[in-house]
Structure 1
Amino acid sequence: MDLKLNNGEGFAVVNLQCSLIETIESFINGWKYEHPHFIKMDGNSFRGNKNVFMSFFKNHNAFKLMESKSCDFYINVRCACLHETQTKNGWTIHSDTEQTNLVFNGEKIIFRENFQKALENSISDYKKAIIEGVSFNNIDSSTELRDNFKAKMNNICDKS
């Protein structure tokens, strides 16, 4: 096998994309992570990162098709890639050489290049909402969205 060909399907890429999802969704909602919980702005907490993926897939249009598979994705893609450098239970990663323009095929195939483009678009839309002061991700108040961003950023900056 010639490693210089970069013929892999992208486990490391998907692993980083999962980290981006957790980061983006935490900024949008103002969540901070304190093992083993995420703490919401209202002081309530929830256990488990799977809830972050459930929220992300529910609230971002490009990923809506994945909403019903969010827990399965979390366990068999996010956790499997992070902890074992592989997907599990039939999940596969493709580069999308067939040019489907799909992020996800509705079954268990992730098209990493399209997944990346959709992530970049979500980040761009979020940035635009923050700058222009408009609603985003089912958060109607631009003030709340900006407060969530500030709370997350303050949490990051407080860590020394």
Structure 2
Amino acid sequence: MEDEKIAWTNVRMRLDQSYGYDEIWEEAIQIFNNRLRKKFFSPIQIIINDRSKNGEGFAIMTVQCAIIETLAAFRKGMIFNHNNRNGNPAYEYKSSRKIFTEFLLSASIFKDHFWSLDITGAMVPNNPFNSIDFYSDVRCALMHEARTKNNWHINLSPKKTDSKNESKFIVTKNGKIKIYRTLLHYRLLNYFMEYQNELRQNNQDGEILRKYFARKMDSLFEVVPDVNFDWWN
């Protein structure tokens, strides 16, 4: 982590509070990319490649829930603070439920899982699966009790499934809600790259995402909030 912190410290000083995408912002994105791949995605891939069937899905899914919240927080520049009180900065959050479920109800990866579009193109939340149920019965159950609850199950992909291209990773089968953890791994990888491409956009949306991204990177490497940097304001 020390090398990553040094790299980010050097990059943030060179950004000079400019939000236009350039080679310096690309350096920042690559620090983020390398960190999540090394510490999260690669360990999951090692487990998957081992092809063991002895309950590893629980470990995989727990890490995946951490990835989901990380991406949700980066998109909004939100920083977790367990001691958050009234009067603290608006970018701090104490409860994960809101940021986690809002992400499930908006991110492209979860279309047709936790949200869908009706015939008019309007968004239908919690269809076909409920985001709060997933948060409480999968994410929280794994984090706090090392299990899933209320009919949620973690499974291997069905035989002959194209894990790298199949889009549907949650299904109802034989009365059970099944999460195919390997399919979700590849979908999260795709979304991870999608988010990085959004960070590269040279438009207003890209600039907003880069501002939130920089604040979150500061927090990640324990840089003290500094109002001299616009992303802390």
User: Shorter-normalised TM-score: what interval?
Assistant: 0.7 to 0.9
**SS of alignment partner, residue 140 of structure 2:** helix
Which of 194, 211, 229 aligns to 1:125? It is 194
The two structures, once aligned, show a CA RMSD in angstroms of 2.6
Residues of 1 paired with 2:182 and 2:58: CA distance?
Answer: 12
CA distance 1:75–1:36, shift in 2 (3 Å): farther
Equivalent AA in structure 1 for residue 220 of structure 2: I
How many residues matched?
149
Equivalent AA in structure 1 for residue 171 of structure 2: N
TM-score calculated relative to the size of structure 2: 0.57
Residues of 2 paired with 1:72 and 1:105: CA distance?
Answer: 14
Indicate the residue corresponding to 2:114 in structure 1.
66
CA distance 1:109–1:133, shift in 2 (3 Å): farther
Residues of 2 paired with 1:36 and 1:111: CA distance?
Answer: 35
Q: Indicate yes or no: 2:78 matched with 1:31.
A: yes
Gaps of 5+ in 1: 135-139
Equivalent AA in structure 1 for residue 133 of structure 2: D
Equivalent AA in structure 2 for residue 128 of structure 1: N
Indicate the residue corresponding to 1:82 in structure 2.
143
- Cα shift at 1:74: 0.8
CA distance 1:10–1:60, shift in 2 (3 Å): same
Q: Indicate yes or no: 2:47 matched with 1:6.
A: no
Gaps of 5+ in 2: 1-49, 116-125, 225-233
Please identify the structure whose Cα radius of gyration is greater. 2
CA distance 1:47–1:158, shift in 2 (3 Å): closer
Equivalent AA in structure 2 for residue 17 of structure 1: Q
TM-score calculated relative to the size of structure 1: 0.80
Instruction: Determine what percentage of the aligned residue pairs are the same residue.
Output: 28
- Cα shift at 1:133: 3.2
CA distance 1:155–1:14, shift in 2 (3 Å): same
